Amino acid sequence: MLTTTALLWALYFFSSTKENIRPIDYIRLLICSLLGVVINQLLFIKGLSLTYSIHASLLMLVTPIFITVIAAVLLKERISVNKVLGLGLGITGATVLILAKKNAGTGADIVKGDLYVILNAIAYSFYFVLVQPLMKTYNALTVMRMLFSIGAIIALPFCWSEFTVIPWSQYTAIDFATLALICVCGTFFAYLFNIYGIKHLGPSISGSYIYTQPFFAAAIAFFILGETINLYKIISAILIFTGVYLTNKTPRHD
């Protein structure tokens, strides 16, 4: 959170766009920051440390479903047949890929860990929907900068004790490179692109792209770790991208 906040403020100082935020919008920014940054980050990481990685991956697949339902209720977005079919294909393809992986994680408290991941998915789904009105009013960088600035301040007291015991002296160059990759790509760019997608596509369509994550993970593993491309991976990829295509396809009578 601190790394992303620093990067966003750096972009702000070099950017020509300087927007003034209306006082009433700070309430929505606070709620979105709590749901999409603080609760999302802390519950998922804590849940992942308690349960198995496969459990966490499978449970996160419900996020686009939550987003679609919440968007339908709060934003009156239509749930079309294409969208339902697309979500179903996406879930199927992603599930096949995830179940084929080797399990990992401590499994120290599976029930509590799974509960944290589910609560994280619900919080993130509400964030996806509630942040859209802000995107219609402000620049994406402005919204992101405020969300992470507020979130970092709120989360710092909860994370400080664990942060102070990190054995920095034992970290190798690969460890720091991995940490930088997570902070810059997995957090900064991921949130930035999500915000951009919500603004131009809407929350439910943007959320459906979560199903492509297992596919890209498998593709990266093929090039970096030398994993093989099997028939089930090809079938999963077809299911996932067909699902995303159907989710994005607008019926002619809409």
Residue 19 lies in a domain: no
Mind listing the pLDDT tens digit for each residue in 72-127? 888 888 888 888 888 888 888 888 777 776 666 667 778 888 889 889 989 998 99
Residue 167 lies in a domain: no
Work out the number of other CB atoms within 10 angstroms of the CB of residue 12. 17
Specify the residue for token string 């991995």: 178
Residue 253 lies in a domain: no
Q: How many domains does the chain have?
A: 1
Q: What CA–CA distance (Å, rounded) separates 120 from 36? A: 9
Mind listing the pLDDT tens digit for each residue in 18-29? 788 999 999 999
Q: How far is CA 137 from the centre of its chain?
A: 22
Domain around 100: 2-11+24-160+172-248
Residue 206 tokens, joined: 């943007």
Residue 242 lies in a domain: yes
182 Cβ contact list (under 8 Å, min separation 6):
none
Look up residue 97 and give its amino acid.
L
In percent, the amount of the chain with pLDDT more than 90 equals 30
226, 45 Cβ separation under 8 angstroms:
no
Residues in the chain: 254
Alpha helices in the chain (DSSP H): 2-14, 25-33, 40-50, 53-60, 63-74, 81-99, 110-130, 132-137, 140-163, 173-183, 190-201, 203-208, 213-224, 231-248
The answer to whether residue 253 scores a pLDDT higher than 70 is no
pTM over the 0.75 mark: yes
Residue 227 lies in a domain: yes
- Return left, alpha or beta for 103; rule: phi > 0 is left, psi -120 to 50 is alpha, else beta: beta
Residue 136 lies in a domain: yes
Residue 254 lies in a domain: no
Residue 155 lies in a domain: yes
